Amino acid sequence: MPQAGGSGGQGSITMPGKGKTESRAAAPHEQHAGLGNAPTLDVYLNATAYWKNIPQPVYDFTIGGYQVIKKWLSYREQRVLGRALSMDEIMEVTAMARRLAALCCCSPG
Protein backbone atom coordinates (compact mmCIF):
# COMPACT_ATOMS: atom_id res chain seq x y z
CA MET A 1 0.00 0.00 0.00
CA PRO A 2 1.57 3.34 -1.00
CA GLN A 3 2.48 5.59 1.87
CA ALA A 4 1.64 8.80 0.02
CA GLY A 5 -1.58 8.88 2.04
CA GLY A 6 -3.87 10.15 -0.70
CA SER A 7 -7.28 11.26 0.43
CA GLY A 8 -10.45 12.21 -1.31
CA GLY A 9 -11.11 15.87 -1.85
CA GLN A 10 -14.15 17.45 -3.45
CA GLY A 11 -15.79 15.23 -6.04
CA SER A 12 -13.31 12.74 -7.48
CA ILE A 13 -10.20 14.79 -6.66
CA THR A 14 -7.45 12.97 -4.79
CA MET A 15 -5.23 15.13 -2.62
CA PRO A 16 -1.69 13.90 -1.93
CA GLY A 17 -0.83 13.02 1.63
CA LYS A 18 2.49 13.46 3.39
CA GLY A 19 3.81 9.97 2.66
CA LYS A 20 6.92 8.50 4.22
CA THR A 21 10.29 9.62 2.94
CA GLU A 22 13.69 9.56 4.59
CA SER A 23 16.13 12.27 3.56
CA ARG A 24 19.86 11.65 3.69
CA ALA A 25 23.07 12.80 2.05
CA ALA A 26 23.79 10.95 -1.16
CA ALA A 27 26.79 8.65 -0.96
CA PRO A 28 29.49 9.39 -3.58
CA HIS A 29 28.29 6.48 -5.75
CA GLU A 30 24.68 7.75 -5.52
CA GLN A 31 25.31 11.31 -6.66
CA HIS A 32 23.74 12.27 -9.95
CA ALA A 33 25.56 14.30 -12.56
CA GLY A 34 23.77 17.57 -13.13
CA LEU A 35 22.07 17.58 -9.73
CA GLY A 36 25.12 18.54 -7.69
CA ASN A 37 25.23 17.51 -4.06
CA ALA A 38 21.45 17.43 -3.65
CA PRO A 39 20.17 15.29 -0.80
CA THR A 40 18.54 12.02 -1.73
CA LEU A 41 15.35 10.40 -0.50
CA ASP A 42 14.19 6.90 0.17
CA VAL A 43 10.47 6.93 -0.73
CA TYR A 44 8.45 4.23 1.00
CA LEU A 45 5.79 2.10 -0.66
CA ASN A 46 5.01 0.36 2.62
CA ALA A 47 6.77 -0.51 5.88
CA THR A 48 9.49 -2.56 4.16
CA ALA A 49 9.59 -1.69 0.44
CA TYR A 50 10.90 1.62 -0.86
CA TRP A 51 12.51 3.37 -3.79
CA LYS A 52 16.08 4.14 -2.76
CA ASN A 53 18.04 7.23 -3.79
CA ILE A 54 15.51 9.48 -5.45
CA PRO A 55 17.23 12.88 -5.59
CA GLN A 56 15.36 15.61 -3.72
CA PRO A 57 14.95 17.79 -6.87
CA VAL A 58 13.39 14.80 -8.67
CA TYR A 59 10.90 14.14 -5.85
CA ASP A 60 10.13 17.87 -5.60
CA PHE A 61 9.57 18.27 -9.37
CA THR A 62 6.14 19.76 -9.97
CA ILE A 63 3.73 20.00 -12.85
CA GLY A 64 0.62 22.09 -12.35
CA GLY A 65 1.69 22.80 -8.79
CA TYR A 66 1.78 19.14 -7.73
CA GLN A 67 4.78 16.96 -6.99
CA VAL A 68 4.64 14.40 -9.79
CA ILE A 69 5.78 11.26 -7.93
CA LYS A 70 3.88 12.08 -4.75
CA LYS A 71 0.63 12.79 -6.65
CA TRP A 72 1.02 9.65 -8.81
CA LEU A 73 1.38 7.51 -5.70
CA SER A 74 -1.56 9.25 -4.02
CA TYR A 75 -3.85 8.23 -6.86
CA ARG A 76 -2.66 4.66 -6.41
CA GLU A 77 -3.22 4.43 -2.66
CA GLN A 78 -4.80 1.03 -2.05
CA ARG A 79 -7.87 2.57 -0.43
CA VAL A 80 -8.30 4.95 -3.38
CA LEU A 81 -7.53 2.41 -6.14
CA GLY A 82 -9.23 -0.53 -4.42
CA ARG A 83 -6.28 -2.89 -4.98
CA ALA A 84 -2.54 -3.18 -4.40
CA LEU A 85 -0.10 -1.83 -6.97
CA SER A 86 0.92 -4.16 -9.77
CA MET A 87 4.59 -4.83 -10.45
CA ASP A 88 4.30 -2.75 -13.64
CA GLU A 89 3.00 0.20 -11.59
CA ILE A 90 5.81 -0.19 -9.08
CA MET A 91 8.38 -0.23 -11.91
CA GLU A 92 6.74 2.86 -13.45
CA VAL A 93 7.80 4.90 -10.41
CA THR A 94 11.43 4.02 -11.16
CA ALA A 95 11.00 4.92 -14.84
CA MET A 96 9.23 8.15 -13.90
CA ALA A 97 12.03 9.13 -11.51
CA ARG A 98 14.58 8.59 -14.30
CA ARG A 99 12.61 10.77 -16.74
CA LEU A 100 12.18 13.51 -14.12
CA ALA A 101 15.90 13.36 -13.32
CA ALA A 102 16.66 13.99 -17.00
CA LEU A 103 14.30 16.99 -16.94
CA CYS A 104 15.93 18.32 -13.77
CA CYS A 105 19.36 18.08 -15.38
CA CYS A 106 18.11 20.00 -18.46
CA SER A 107 16.38 22.74 -16.48
CA PRO A 108 18.29 25.92 -15.67
CA GLY A 109 19.18 26.01 -12.00
In order of 13, 66, 82, 97, 109, the CA distances from 51 in angstroms are: 26, 19, 22, 10, 25
Q: What is the pTM of this model?
A: 0.78
In order of 21, 36, 43, 66, 90, the CA distances from 28 in angstroms are: 20, 11, 19, 30, 26
Neighbours of 23 (CB within 10 A): 10
What are the pLDDT digits (tens) for 62-101? 999 999 999 999 888 888 888 889 999 999 999 999 999 9
